[in-house]
Amino acid sequence: MENNYYSLEVNKSNRLTRLFQLIFGIVCAVLAVTWIILNPDSFKWNTTLLPVLFLSSFSWYMVNSGLGKGEKYIEIGRDSITIKKNSLFPAKTFNAPEIERFEVFPLSMVLHLREGTKYILRFGTTFTDLIDPVKRGIEEFCSLNNIPAEFRNEEI
């Protein structure tokens, strides 16, 4: 089984969009530094720190997105699954021996780990055409690694 990559993004960004995100993020970072330099004596919460914190965090997000590190995805390999469900935090990799079982619902997936914790991934309703290929990939991964997978329907 080769690695299968499934993007969870709402829309794919092209090079031009990512370039603008990168440039805008750098401009925001420069603005934050300039704001600190121009207002060195007035380190008050509402006049300096709040705008600098906002500009710094927004510039980090834009640079991260511009470099392509903010994309949400699922990568299913032969003996591991890598899931990045949030664009701000790093991806999480689960090796096959760590996984106890899978529960797959129509719009979500739950990984039960051997250590007793569980990891929930919600697909959402925007792009439902992505859910079936991911389910097939999970089913193939589970059959290769002898992991029980339970495909359930949510009942209200």
For domain 72-151, the CATH class is mainly beta
Asked whether 84 and 90 are in contact (CB, 8 A), the reply is yes
pLDDT digits (tens, 9 = 90+) for 19-77: 999 999 999 999 988 888 887 665 666 667 778 888 999 999 899 888 888 888 899 99
In the chain the beta strands, taken as DSSP E runs, fall at 4-7, 73-76, 80-84, 92-95, 99-104, 108-113, 118-122, 149-151
Entry pTM = 0.75
In 11-107 the beta strands, taken as DSSP E runs, fall at 73-76, 80-84, 92-95, 99-104
Question: Mean pLDDT across the chain, nearest whole number?
Answer: 85
Examine the pLDDT at 156 and tell me if it is beyond 80. Answer: no
Handedness of CA 64, 66, 70, 73 (dihedral sign): negative
Q: How far apart are CA 146 and CA 126, in angstroms?
A: 32
pLDDT digits (tens, 9 = 90+) for 63-99: 988 888 888 889 999 899 999 988 888 889 999 999 9
Domain residue ranges in the chain: 10-66, 72-151
Q: How far apart are CA 88 and CA 60, in angstroms?
A: 9
Residue 60: per-residue pLDDT = 92
Examine the pLDDT at 123 and tell me if it is beyond 80. Answer: yes
Residue 75: per-residue pLDDT = 92
Place of tokens 């890598």: 82
Examine the pLDDT at 12 and tell me if it is beyond 80. Answer: no
Cβ contacts of 34 within 8 Å, gap of 6 or more: none
